[in-house]
Amino acid sequence: MKVLGAWSLLQTCTIILLSHRQLIPAEKVQTVSNHNVNPCCNYPCHNMGVCVRSGLSGYDCDCTRTGYSGENCTIPDFWTKVRDFLKPRPDVIHYILTHFHWLWNIINRTRLREWLMHIVLTARSNLIPSPPTYNSKYGYLNWEAYYNHTYYTRILPPVPEDCPTPMGVKGKTTLPDPKMLVQKFLRRQTFNPDPQGTNLMFAFFAQHFTHQFFKTHNRMGVAFTKALGHGVDAGHIYGDNLARQLNLRLLKDGKLKYQLVMGDMYPPTDAYAKVNMSYPPAMPPEHRMAIGQEVFGLLPGLSMYATLWLREHNRICDVLIKEHPTWDDEQLFQTARLIVIGETIRIVIEDYVQHLSGYLLQLKFDPELLFNSQFQYQNRISLEFNHLYHWHALMPDSFIIDGDDVPYSQFIFNTSLVTHYGIEKLVDAFSRQQAGQIGGGKNIHPVIIGVAEDVIRESRELRVQPFNEYRKRFNLKPYESFLQLTENEEMAQELEEMYGDIDALEFYPGLLLEKTRPGAIFGESMVEMGAPFSLKGLMGNPICSPEYWKPSTFGGQTGFNLVNSATLERLVCLNTKWCPYVAFRVPYESQREEKSSFSKNEL
């Protein structure tokens, strides 16, 4: 019976991952009597159909290659019917992937792991359009939206400008005041630790990793990005332009500039590297570290990761010099950078995403899994992904380091903490301190609550479509009420009074106020929308392509082995004097006094 049960679960999991359409039944679309109103404000086209206005008051839905037909793309073809009939709900998928330890222990030791990982990668990545579609200037396909990389791309077009309400046709004509909205629903009252055991090592990694491609160019406008690489390019380590990169480089042996403090390597001062950093004017010159990302002096956790990657880059250069004594500085640097990018992607998939997902399927970074699939090795960062990833609720009320309770006032813009405690003590402290839960509302510390307010203002300026429209775009059923969204009667009633209709709820508030999954860090939508962006961006990197993914790209088998053996623990312990406890989750009670089991002698 157990074998039959396992096979049944495996079949269900396969169907889940293969299917990527959701049947949305035909419904009567609200009509707008005013001929001056754009009928596409109703969002009449379902199942990824494209609304095209025709005449003064008409519209057409382009259902090409959606698997649906009909006036509003609601009539499924035969195979779509079969797929939708067999497809379980996302919460069923999640339950299977996070339960049945005995089954996953078997699968993770067989070839089924690679097979399922291939399905995960393709099913998720196929939800992200490639080439990109829209940007904040154009709500229709055109060459500028594709070609102009200074824009963030976007998954759904902007709300048409001539709609009766800010969200289309639903809701009130005026949206709630952003400040009041975040104070009432998002401001932390009591710290809620993440039930998944997520720690500050994870929180700072999330911020450090994503700020290589989330770099809004505010001087041009919130629709624009300075990170023209649109992906994992390690620009947060090396700078986002050539001039900054050259100033950070030692220009000898491929290495980056550094300073020694008590015999330990740290980022150089900005006076030495001569790069612009965002520090307060009163910041002492000796504490102004020069880092690839200009804002990473803001938090010691970011400076800690910058130090680790600086040491790792220079360590890789030492390995390459022994392998290739004839190589010049440029080839050593460029090859080391490719290795660092590869190490980053492996750590993100096998350590970071593994923890975040809670899956019992052991995730694997293996680009060859996609070599026989139709897959485009390119990526563009969307503004929805940028907004979604504002996880400031992870931050605690204060920071516990080596027995000291450090408040925000002493933590922000204080790189001296990095050199005072040392990387080992910071890693150990951040790995042991629990981060906050993101979803469910009322989880953001008052010190940083203004960031959420800014995101809401930006989304309105960019005319981001309602939360339920994104639910439908990512094959999730739209919520029918605020109570269904939150499962909190008081919150639901207040939201109803402010927005007037669940279909008028904004994208970012919807993500943060959605009820969390049992024992999870956030709700269904954050996972189902965030995972496709993440996996497409990671696997769409050029180093994952057949042309790049081979030993010679990384300086031979030795460099290739560095990429293929990368873990968070190795990143830390190969670049510190002693190995602290290091992980993306706090240790279990029985492990709280244990140090890492990793030994440098194992290398």
> Which amino acids are annotated catalytic?
211, 389
Helix 416-432 vs helix 300-323: angle between axes, to the nearest 10 degrees?
A: 90
Structure tokens at 522: 């956030």
Per the CB < 8 A criterion, the answer to whether 35 and 57 are in contact is yes
Contact between residue 376 and residue 132 where contact means Cβ atoms under 8 Å apart: no
- Asked if residue 494 lies in contact with residue 184, where contact means CB atoms within 8 angstroms, the answer is yes
Q: Is the distance from CB of 393 to CB of 443 less than 8 angstroms?
A: yes
515 residue type, one letter? K
Rounded Cα gap, residues 482 and 514, in angstroms: 9
Sign of CA dihedral 19, 369, 117, 539: negative
Question: In this structure, are residues 385 and 549 in contact, taking their beta carbons and an 8 Å threshold?
Answer: no
Cα–chain-centroid distance for residue 137?
A: 24
Closest CA to 253 of 173, 132, 334: 334
Residues pairing with 59 in the sheet: 53
Distance CA 58, CA 63 (A): 16
Residue with tokens 């402290």: 429
d(CA 414, CA 427): 16
Rounded to a whole number of angstroms, the CA Rg of the chain reads: 25
Phi, psi of 216 (to 5 degrees): -60, 130
DSSP assignments along 530-562, one per residue: HHHHHHHHHHTSGGGSTTT-SGGGGTSHHHHHH
Q: Which residues contact 523 (CB under 8 A, 6 or more apart)?
A: 439, 440, 511, 514, 515, 516, 517
Per the CB < 8 A criterion, the answer to whether 127 and 532 are in contact is yes
What distance in Å separates the CA atoms of residue 537 and residue 233, rounded to the nearest whole number? 11
Sign of CA dihedral 239, 298, 431, 451: negative
Structure tokens at 142: 């055109």
Tell me if 328 sits within 8 A of 446, measured CB to CB: no
For 326-359, the DSSP string reads T--HHHHHHHHHHHHHHHHHHHIIIIIIHHHH--
Side chain identity at residue 91, one-letter code = D
How far apart, in whole angstroms, are the C-alpha atoms of residue 510 and residue 525? 9
CB atoms within 10 A of CB 445: 18
For residue 490 the two structure tokens come to: 């008081």
